[in-house]
Structure 1
């Protein structure tokens, strides 16, 4: 069975504006597709998602459709820019909406995020990527996702102002090789969980 991956792009830029985050995430998705994974990407800022910690907050809420895609995917790639050393506001809103998954269970009483894997992509022309990766990975782990070792990649310009990811080739070789390794690790663990799922919690 082909694995499915969902990319949540948490850029602040609405389509069709070029997204540096999308460009780095595409290195990961290209490798996922090479490994026979079906990939879909959502640019969340295009959806005007309201705040909340429920799966559905009422009429016009686009989040339930995103939620369904999360549940139909074995792999989640959570991609965000860095602003002021932190994840984007769109990323934080996505995590808040995903909080509802803590109360949702499958037919065997497992949290619905169990037996799904997640990784993180971060871009920014400032430092702070490791903090952002830790913050998002911790949240996804709380929700129930399995975050494999080295399930992340990032690019940043370093201290002070400077060009964005799309404006320079500086540091990209490392970011790209790390992104390809991230994709391989996500697929390996997703396949392992598919073959040997995490069991339901003991009552």
Structure 2
């Protein structure tokens, strides 16, 4: 089984990403359960604006799209900025919009029988809003979002330190992240054994 973590930090590599640090807790638990995890830091790629799978010359989204189709599990990891997902996360969802019209050989939407969850960090509050926005978009695209398939960390309300700079709250966020991983893998395994069919006519 494969998982893809799309890190939507605004920081290009090799800058330290708080969001990646928490996402690695989730990935580590999935790996313990036999899942192969791939990583993409979206800001490092040339993802052109648009709602098509391929926007033409220079667009690197088609490579990520191929990774999405190889993975049974997707984790979108994003910081909170001004109470919302990062602009990079929004662009990722906009590009994923094309998947609404893509089907597999059996006529199923390509996101069917795939699961997804959300990791969120920030030095302000708003995590539940961010998780809801991203989860809602993923459900629209066709992903299955299991119960408690998210984790977050912040010390809100108000601005404060970052995840990698402050140990407070790590125990809860990490424990919740491990539960998230377990739920994602369990539901992915169930869908593999009993896949959803194509939508009825």
TM superposition score normalised by structure 1: 0.98
SS at match of 1:79: strand
Distance in 1 (alpha carbons) for counterparts of 2:134 and 2:200: 28
Equivalent residue number for residue 67 of structure 1: 65
Distance in 1 (alpha carbons) for counterparts of 2:2 and 2:158: 38
Equivalent residue number for residue 159 of structure 2: 161
Distance in 2 (alpha carbons) for counterparts of 1:48 and 1:105: 25
Equivalent residue number for residue 106 of structure 1: 104
Following superposition, the deviation at residue 151 of structure 1 comes to: 0.1
SS at match of 1:41: strand
Distance in 1 (alpha carbons) for counterparts of 2:166 and 2:193: 42
Distance in 1 (alpha carbons) for counterparts of 2:123 and 2:168: 11
Following superposition, the deviation at residue 77 of structure 1 comes to: 0.5
Following superposition, the deviation at residue 48 of structure 1 comes to: 2.3
Distance in 1 (alpha carbons) for counterparts of 2:158 and 2:73: 34
Distance in 1 (alpha carbons) for counterparts of 2:200 and 2:169: 47
SS at match of 1:55: coil
Distance in 1 (alpha carbons) for counterparts of 2:83 and 2:171: 23
Equivalent residue number for residue 19 of structure 1: 17
Report Cα offsets for 1:94-136 as digits up to 9, x if no partner: 0000000000001111100000000000000100000000000
Alignment of 1:49-64 (within 5 A): 49-64=47-62
TM superposition score normalised by structure 2: 0.99
Contact 2:46–2:58 (CA<8 Å) still a contact in 1? no
Over aligned residues, Cα RMSD in angstroms? 0.5
Distance in 1 (alpha carbons) for counterparts of 2:160 and 2:75: 26
Distance in 1 (alpha carbons) for counterparts of 2:109 and 2:159: 42
SS at match of 2:4: strand
Equivalent residue number for residue 115 of structure 1: 113
Report Cα offsets for 1:1-60 as digits up to 9, x if no partner: xx1000000000000000000000000000000000000010000002110000000011
SS at match of 1:194: helix
Alignment of 1:184-203 (within 5 A): 184-203=182-201
SS at match of 2:75: strand
Runs of 5+ consecutive residues of structure 2 not aligned to the other structure: none
